[in-house]
Chains A and B, each alone.
Chain A
Amino acid sequence: MTLQGILILNFIGLLLLLWVLNLIRHGRLYVGYGVIFAISIIGTMALISVPRLLVMVTHMIGAVFPASALTMLALCFIVLMLLYILTQLTIVSNRLSALAQDIAIERARAEAERTAQGKIAPEERGGAAREIWNESE
């Protein structure tokens, strides 16, 4: 890689790193995700800056050109991050569903208790049902 390429890529990496740190600082990116991004950016910057390290990694993963090795690593990173983010999304979605279910159940229980205490007469409920049914017909 030319010196110009190394400088440009490192500059982009530095900007990304600053952006990630800023997002963490403002609470817009969870620190756990931020750490993964920061480590990956620093690792990539190191690979780009030290040609011997890049050649070593290229040989290690069986690639012919250093650029292919970088592309392969980037793809692996994207797939792993996607999987990680989807896992986290699923966990959050499951928690949200459980919370929504609990709220619904608690409200329904309170309603059923109120009905059992006689605050809503059963015949009233039946009457209302028939009324709406007739309306819809």
Chain B
Amino acid sequence: MSRTLADGARARGSNSPEGFEAAAEPSRVMRPATGRILVAVPAYNEAGTIARVVTRVRDALPGYDLLVVNDGSGDETGQILRRLGVTVATHPCNLGYGRAVQTAIKYALSCGYDALVTLDADGQHPPEAVSAMMEEFDASRWDVLIGSRYIATRSYRAAPLGRRIGMRLFSTLVRIVIGQRVYDTSSGLKIIRRDVFEPLTHWHFVDFHAETIVYLMRLGHRVGEFPVTMAERTHGHSMHTAINYLKYPLKTFLLVLLGLIEASLTRRRRKR
């Protein structure tokens, strides 16, 4: 990896606060250069926001296919999606966020897509920013490009205390382990290239956060960040419950270590 994580965005002048604004501007309607692209939205009990998210994706990204992964929602999400006529992969029961993202990856792999865009169903991620991200993704040939809330300012001051501590912890962990800084390890807005679909379907990931970044970078894939402005959640509640605030860091920490070992073993096997 010859460039640092933020180099792509910096080279394109989007690392400054001005660039930050520009990245969040409504996209120009254009056919992506990457080829067939799938936008996947994992949704669990998101009846309040899902229609709006689907409409925004369709308006902002007309050249992309859309898949919603309904992760065993118990509310009206399934019915709303049926009325919307969107392609839905429905889990018969709730499997968790990581499995929902993995379903999207498996779907993209089996249908021959060239890239996958993941967006959260709570409406926090602006689909309008994806076109600018895609340009950067194509231009700098990233394997994974993360829509980052913190790369523009390189500071967590705007985040609530709990998230600030978590972000700093995992960002530092990734830097120690990989030697490169990733400012937003927990963003659900990502563009993933086809080359990394397969490794992501083999190993177990909790939420496709720090553990995935470490695993992929250790395998030699290029992971970058792109500045994106995200809205605050207006409906529903976060997947992180009180107990999760304790469990999540421990689980992620363990998986980062195991991911590191697994990736090193995979590299050694490939060399043979």
Contacts and interface: CB of A to CB of B under 8 A. Distances in A.
Contacts of B103: 101, 104-105
Interface stretch (A22-30, A81-89, A128-136): A128-136
A128 B99 CA distance: 28
Nearest to A126: B58
B165 interface: no
A104 B85 contact: no
Interface string B49-88: 0011011001000000101010000000000100111111
Nearest to B79: A132
Given A101-B99, A105-B106, A128 B85 contact: yes
B110 A109 contact: yes
A112 B95 CA distance: 22
Given A130-B55, A136-B52, A108 B92 contact: no
A115 B84 CA distance: 12
Chain A at the B interface: mostly helix, strand, loop or mixed?
helix
Interface range, B side: 20 to 34
A61 B213 CA distance: 46
B27 interface: no
Contacts of B80: 132
Contact of B89 (A97, A107, A129): A107
Interface in A30-64: none
A100 B110 contact: no
B194 interface: no
Given A100-B95, A129-B84, A136-B51, A105 B89 contact: yes
Interface range, A side: 20 to 34
Contacts of A126: 55, 58
A103 interface: yes
Interface in A100-132: 100-101, 103-105, 107-109, 111-112, 115, 120, 124-126, 128-130, 132
A115 B86 CA distance: 9
Nearest to B82: A128
B54 A129 contact: yes
B166 interface: no
- The 4 residue pairs across chains A and B that have the minimum distance between CB atoms: A125-B85, A108-B89, A104-B89, A132-B51
Interface of B: 48, 51-52, 54-55, 58, 65, 67, 69, 80, 83-93, 95, 99, 102-103, 106-107, 110-111
6 contacts: A101-B103, A107-B88, A112-B65, A125-B58, A130-B55, A136-B48
Interface of A: 97, 100-101, 103-105, 107-109, 111-112, 115, 120, 124-126, 128-130, 132-133, 136
